């Protein structure tokens, strides 16, 4: 009878270790698109972080990198905790951003994982995890994403989204 309890305890221990030892998914790219409208002036900013941690502004490298290991872990936590919208891959055209009203901004954070990219290379649009922050004040500069990232990584992104 004791043997059954030991086997059951061992099973629970190994199951628990497997759950806690799972590595976070690898990131293919994270894009942050900010669209601000103040009167007749519109500002569009696109920040992208690729699978190597290189940071781009308007598709040009800015010569900075995020700490990839930490950034990946934090982005996975952001996707899980914030319950962002999963947009499955398809052959449909990609979704578009909506123009903000005067004095407002719309900010979109899209995460694409490497595993999804490899599975769906033949599709027109791949699975992304999207967080949409719409109808924010034009002056708003603090986003929920920053609470997940390390200070250095969030500072890099904040600087580019000014």
Q: Report pLDDT for 82.
A: 87
143 band by pLDDT with thresholds 50, 70 and 90: confident
Strand partners, 109: 32, 131
Q: Report pLDDT for 11.
A: 61
Specify the residue for token string 């499955």. 88
- pLDDT tens readout for residues 37-88: 988 899 999 999 999 999 999 999 999 999 999 999 999 999 999 878 888 8
Q: Report pLDDT for 21.
A: 44
| Nearest CA among 36, 33, 32 for reference residue 104 | 36
Q: Report pLDDT for 98.
A: 81
Query: From CA 28, how far away is CA 116, in angstroms rounded?
Result: 9
Q: Report pLDDT for 39.
A: 87
**For range 102-114, the mean pLDDT:** 91
Pairing of strands 60-65, 54-57: antiparallel
**For range 137-147, the mean pLDDT:** 85
Query: From CA 134, how far away is CA 33, in angstroms rounded?
Result: 11
- Taking residue 38's Cβ as centre, other Cβ atoms within 10 Å add up to 14
Class of residue 126 by CB neighbours under 10 A (exposed 0-12, middle 13-18, buried 19+): buried
Based on DSSP, count helices (H) and strands (E) in the chain, helices before strands.
Answer: 4, 7
Does the pLDDT at position 5 exceed 70? Answer: no
- pLDDT tens readout for residues 6-30: 666 656 555 654 544 455 689 999 9
CA distances (Å), 106 to each of 22, 39, 64, 84, 118, in order? 34, 15, 25, 16, 30
| Nearest CA among 101, 129, 105, 143 for reference residue 31 | 129
What value, to the nearest 5°, has the Cα angle with vertex 82 and ends 79 and 88? Answer: 50
Does the pLDDT at position 112 exceed 60? Answer: yes
- pLDDT tens readout for residues 92-103: 877 777 888 999
Strand segments, DSSP code E, in the chain are 27-38, 41-50, 54-57, 60-65, 85-87, 104-113, 128-137
Q: Report pLDDT for 133.
A: 84
């Amino acid at each position: 009878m004791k043997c059954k309890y030991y086997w059951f305890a061992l099973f629970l221990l190994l199951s628990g270790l497997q759950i806690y030892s799972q590595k976070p998914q690898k990131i293919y790219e994270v894009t942050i698109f900010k669209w601000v409208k103040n009167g007749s002036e519109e500002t569009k900013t696109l920040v992208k972080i690729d699978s190597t941690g290189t940071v781009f502004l308007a598709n040009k490298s800015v010569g900075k990198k995020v700490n990839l290991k930490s950034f990946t872990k934090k982005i996975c936590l952001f996707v899980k905790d914030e319950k962002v919208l999963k947009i499955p891959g398809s052959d449909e055209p990609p979704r578009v951003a909506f123009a903000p009203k005067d004095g407002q901004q719309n900010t979109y954070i899209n995460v694409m994982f490497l595993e999804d990219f490899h599975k769906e290379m033949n599709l027109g649009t791949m699975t992304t995890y999207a967080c949409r922050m719409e109808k924010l004040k034009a002056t708003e500069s603090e986003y929920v994403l920053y609470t997940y990232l390390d200070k250095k990584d969030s500072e890099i992104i904040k600087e580019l989204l000014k």
